[in-house]
Structure 1
């Protein structure tokens, strides 16, 4: 566990994966809301300050609660029960999960309509809602929530790195290099997840940073 008295490299990598996967997985959604900002600086400052402060507060609160409650960190209900919190708090946890999925569905619909403008919002919302419902009942994700975060990190950490590289060194010709880099980087991360169970964040970052320029040069010859 990350909160053992004798922390080792494995524990630190485990914690790093959880934190990065949780934080970075929301990055593709940022543009859905910052597009309403009045200026570039306002969107940048608002996003970074708001996300940083709330992340520090909530990650710290969650870690402290798990330590005090001596409970499994991947299950917030166990933490709440061990802390003696009442049913209202459990309803709050359930409500927060529902609102999170609403955000996911909204952003998925917006992203899809950017590619396929003629698709209907209602059909996309129902389709993505059904997919989320089916994924949510997969036993491994219900019992071990950190596994879900691992695989989210496998997919979204390389994707976020590619989006940044695409903006500054890619350009219009970088679509296929970006797709290939994402597939390879995510594949390597998933492989590490299955074999080791941790360290996927560093693998995703390093492999994507190395592969994107290399694959881009091959396509731009």
Structure 2
């Protein structure tokens, strides 16, 4: 369990302080397993189901998407452990210090949005389960998540040692009950093809990529960070998407209402109540990562003050803001980060140019903005982000560009994989000339580990 001094240590308050290496494989596995235990995943399973087909193809899409997404997430987590830097500071080595402000600003917006979204989900679910007013749960979830963000490594250790077991017991119980019910073929579902179903599953692990290194910078080695992150989140993704799909198949009378289907399980109310409580860790992670991302803009800012401010804003927004109307914008920002994953992984792992510079003097590399932008365009041309109402012009414009280029709007491709491929290939193209001019030193023993 470690010495008392080790247990008391926590994340540094500013970027000027070194990040203590306090977490091992078990802590990392527990953290990312808990982050993967989210009510968002079984709810999203309704959009992964391939209607009118046997159960097998849907489950195959879940596994394929989870494996791809978890491997990408694990590679980002390993980079954070190797460099000892949070996610947005890592991007200094990719784009340069000042250019890294662009993804930092976008990440701050998306983290605040997702923290608000998680608080709303917790409050709505708890209010529905307990037949009680919503506002006390908004306040309680916001306060608890903010307190966890003040002592993030302490929260990680608690999640790894205790919360994960309560969540696991609930999940196992729900699986046993659902599997004891007849499982007919799906008649309803939201996936148009196998690869669109895969795309939805990939999106969940990849959405954590801009946050992963905020936690794995405290892991003792790159291998532990990669294995703990990819296995923990990947297994949770498979389990929760599968649980949602099975619940819909077993309790088809509930239509595509996954929560209603799980409530139909005997004692499903109790199991869901446990999962609602565990959901707080997603809000905590987004609040803490907002604070750490802001430190890339000014390294002297105290993360505790930032976390208090972010937690207060997210809680206030959860009281007053219609987050459902904001959800498409969050998905749009997510689509921005998908190609950035491809650019980063190729530049970091495939096209090394010596040390990865995360200092305040990291030189600008503006040419790497090109594959990032091209990947985003490829994503929208494959599957435009859907907006209704005021934002519908965005969807209509990209749909018109699909028509101009002869791209079938119902092409059935994975927008994530297309975007990643375009960004990765262009990154090789723009990095190769620079690599030929600069000799590549042998990797150090520390980085190779």
Give TM class, smaller chain: 0.7 to 0.9
Q: Is residue 154 of structure 1 aligned with residue 345 of structure 2?
A: no
Q: Which residue of 2 aligns with 1:186?
A: 376
Q: Does the aligned pair in 2 maintain the 1:162–1:208 contact within 8 Å? A: yes
Q: Deviations over 1:101-133 (max 9, x none)?
A: 210121222233144202242553355443687
1:133 and 1:97 map into 2 onto residues whose CA distance is 19
Q: CA deviation at 1:134?
A: 4.7
Q: Secondary structure at the match of 1:193?
A: coil
Matches of 1:76 and 1:141 in 2, distance apart? Answer: 22
The 1:155/1:164 distance shift into structure 2, 3 A limit, reads same
Residue 3 of structure 1: how far off its partner (Å)? 3.3
SS at match of 1:36: coil
Tell whether 2:324 aligns with 1:139: yes
The offset of 1:164, in angstroms, is: 0.8
Question: Residue 131 and residue 188 in structure 1: after superposition, are their counterparts in 2 closer, same or farther (change >3 A)?
Answer: farther
Residue 99 of structure 1: how far off its partner (Å): 2.6
| Deviation per residue, 1:50-82 (Å, 9 max, x gap) | 233222222222221222233565x64333345
What is the distance in 2 between the residues matched to 1:18 and 1:219?
36
1:165 aligned partner: 346
Superposed CA RMSD in Å reads 3.7
Offset of 1:86 from its aligned partner? 5.4
Unaligned segments of structure 2, at least 5 residues: 1-46, 59-190, 358-362, 386-398, 400-408, 438-449
**Preserved CA contact (<8 Å) 1:80 1:89:** no
Say which of 275, 290, 294 aligns to 1:112.
294
In 2 relative to 1, CA 122–36 (structure 1 residues): closer, same or farther, beyond 3 Å?
Answer: closer
**Residue 21 (structure 1) shift:** 0.2
Task: In structure 1, list runs of 5 or more residues that go unmatched.
Answer: none
Q: Distance in 1 between matches of 2:373 and 2:260?
A: 36
Flag the 1:180–1:79 CA change in 2: closer, same or farther, 3 A.
Answer: farther
Length-normalised TM-score, structure 1: 0.74
Shift of 1:23: 1.4
Query: Counting helix residues as a fraction of each chain, which structure ranks higher?
Result: 1
Higher relative contact order (CA 8 A, sep 6+): 2
Q: Is the 8 A contact 1:25 1:152 kept in 2?
A: no
Contact 1:106–1:125 (8 Å) recurs in 2: yes
Residue 208 of structure 1, aligned match among 404, 416, 423? 423
Report whether the alignment pairs 1:10 with 2:57: no
Give the number of equivalent residue pairs. Answer: 216
Cα separation, partners in 2 of 1:217 and 1:41, compared to 1, 3 Å = closer
Q: Tell me which moved more, 38-47 or 199-208.
A: 38-47
